[in-house]
Amino acid sequence: MFKDLLAQLAVPFHSGLVEWKPQAISADKQRALAAAYVDMRDYEDRLDKVFPQWTSSAQFLLTGDKVAAVVSLTLDGVTRVNVGEAKLSDENAFTSAFAQAFKRVCSDFGLGRYLYRLPQEWCTYDEKRRAIINPPELPVWARHPDEIAVETQVTAPAKPADETLAENLCKLGFEPEPAEAETEQAEVAAAEPGSTVVHFGRYNGKSLAEIWALGKEGQGWVRWCASLDGKGFNTKNDTKNVHLQRMARTFLSLQSAYAG
């Protein structure tokens, strides 16, 4: 389905692929405003993985002292178009214009769009190397799920003895019946993120999709619940709260992918 394709494209890149370039430099040339970017080839790799049949085309136009690239991208029968530009004084003007346009049209499908939403930070700048010295740390919501999973495994506390025993019994062929709460949680996880029901507060009993449909106020609440900036809903490590927040973040990712 097309929405599944968009959801896969909206997943952040691995942080190791994210680089930083100076977008603006202070008057004393000691600090620079860091802008995140990912190489175009990594965009192509993601497209190859998610939808190998993707196609694109480009046209170039000369406008004064600039060259403009008009790039179209087609995925699953849907075509979107965007533009990039570069000064002709740049020896790689055509390549730069094309890369900019290609990334922008990928963003129209949700791929790499999150990079434009990263908080801007001033960092130490090395003028000789023309490089950012201490790049910002990516927030959790801007990191690939595999990275978060690995960190969770590393920092996870030791399992209680009864959990270890249950696992060993399973290895020997004994299949314990799932607890009622675990079964319910699995059913919720299998549902669409938008169908997740809130269990507290003024929206108690309403699904995330219903709250979102309420308009600006409801959408603000969903963003608060997702707490992408770490300043919103505090789950206090409660299982229900953590699950709700994860579903809210997934729901927002889908909304972002559908936008535009």
Q: 256 pLDDT exceeds 70?
A: no
pLDDT, tens digit, 9 for 90 and up, residues 127-180: 998 899 889 999 999 999 888 766 555 555 555 555 555 555 554 445 554 444
The whole-angstrom separation of Cα 21 and Cα 47 is 24
Do residues 23 and 36 lie in contact, with contact meaning Cβ atoms separated by under 8 Å?
no
How much of the chain exceeds pLDDT 90, in percent? 49
Q: For residue 111, give the nearest of 121, 124, 102 by alpha carbon.
A: 102
Query: Which carries the bigger pLDDT value, residue 104 or residue 182?
Result: 104
What's the chain's length in residues?
260
pLDDT tens, 186-228?
444 444 788 889 988 888 899 888 888 888 888 888 888 888 8
Where do the H-state alpha helices sit in 51-109? 93-107
> What's the first-to-final CA gap in the chain, in angstroms?
18
pTM of the model: 0.58
CA Rg, the chain, in Å? 23
Who wins on pLDDT, 100 or 245? 100
Q: Which residues contact 164 (CB under 8 A, 6 or more apart)?
A: none
Q: Who's near 159: CB < 8 A, 6+ residues apart?
A: 167
pLDDT in tens, 54-101: 999 999 999 889 999 999 999 999 999 999 999 999 999 999 999 999
Q: Which two tokens stand for residue 239?
A: 């299982």
How many C-beta neighbours within 10 Å does residue 125 have?
21
The DSSP annotation for 109-176 comes to TTTTGGGGGSPPEEEEEETTTTEESSPPPPPGGGS-HHHHHHHHHHHPPPPPHHHHHHHHHHHTT--P
pLDDT in tens, 16-50: 999 999 999 999 999 999 999 999 999 999 999 99
pLDDT value of residue 1: 80
Q: How confident is the model at residue 184, as a pLDDT?
A: 43
Residues 31/122, Cβ–Cβ less than 8 Å: yes
Return the structure tokens found at 147: 């990275």
> Is 10 exposed, middle or buried (CB count within 10 Å of its CB: 0-12, 13-18, 19+)?
buried
pLDDT given at position 99: 96
Q: Nearest to residue 113, comparing CAs of 3, 36, 177?
A: 36
